[in-house]
Structure 1
Amino acid sequence: MTGRGRKPPWLRILCPEGNYGRLKPRRCGSCGRWLVSLQDGVWESYDSGVIRAGRDLTNAIILGRNLARIMWDPLLRQAYLVSVYGSCGLEPDGMYLAEHDCAAAPISVEPFRPAPRRKRGSLAGLPRLSGAQVREFEEAWNRPLKGVLTDGAGDGSGERKHDEQER
């Protein structure tokens, strides 16, 4: 496989323009395969195929290929890479990229798929408020802060008493 094909569409998800993980899709100048480059300090290049637990991960470990774990930030919906040293940091449910080697075939050609979005919680567990409770809350919410600081008289006398005690 020479890798002279078009850029895989899922690389736009893994390496979007301007991502904070500094991941860039690019072609290898020697073999022409699509890579994921990490542009942080020393540039590192990884094969674009995602390695998951099982046979591919076992092959990568046996072949001694350096791995980087793909971490997904659910808030920004972006990926970033964390280096894995030996067996430290390997998780059975993790996704990894193998370091690129032009002389060796890629370990995996599986595309990247981000974790599905979590569904927002429903309003079923929230308490139901009566109309009177809602009106009472709205009155308290709209009341000026000056009225809240009083001792309940509503004339501001509690606020004055508090100022006199400080002197």
Structure 2
Amino acid sequence: MLRPLPLLSLAALLLFVGVLWSDQPLVEAGHSMVELQFAGSAERAARILDTWRTAGVEDAIRLNQQIDFAFLLTYPAALSLACRSLAGHLGPGQRIGHFLTRAVFACTVLDGAENLAIQVMLDHGARDSMARLATACAIPKFALAAWAIGWCLWALLRRVRLP
């Protein structure tokens, strides 16, 4: 029988590596995609987009977006399954794990809205509303994902220590 956690985790990990790899030309041009996600204003977003266009990395931008759209379908599910699996083995902290099991799916919506806002800016130029939307989605997305990953690491350490 196939176990979904290892398969989803592997898919998420491979896609994460793909996101990092496709971001490399953007970083070399002067700005990472994360910088655009946190631009927060049309002025800052326009500077980032202009830097990328001047460097001729439009294909890398589009590839990064495509890989990230696939990534957002895998990492929340993998985190959810990891939280659920680990929560069943804990006394204290079990409630948080069960909460995170459901909450991490908000990352899918947040990441999707953020990607759409970025896509609008890629297609139609930087706009304050889209730059603000991308940032407003990126902040809770990264926070929630970091909370889930941190909780999973804590739960793993507790599990190793508990008989």
Note whether the superposition's TM-score is higher than 0.5. no
Bigger share in helix: 2
Q: Which has the higher contact order (CA 8 A, sep 6+)?
A: 2
TM-score class normalised by the smaller sequence? under 0.3
Q: TM-score, normalised by structure 1?
A: 0.25
Bigger share in strand: 1
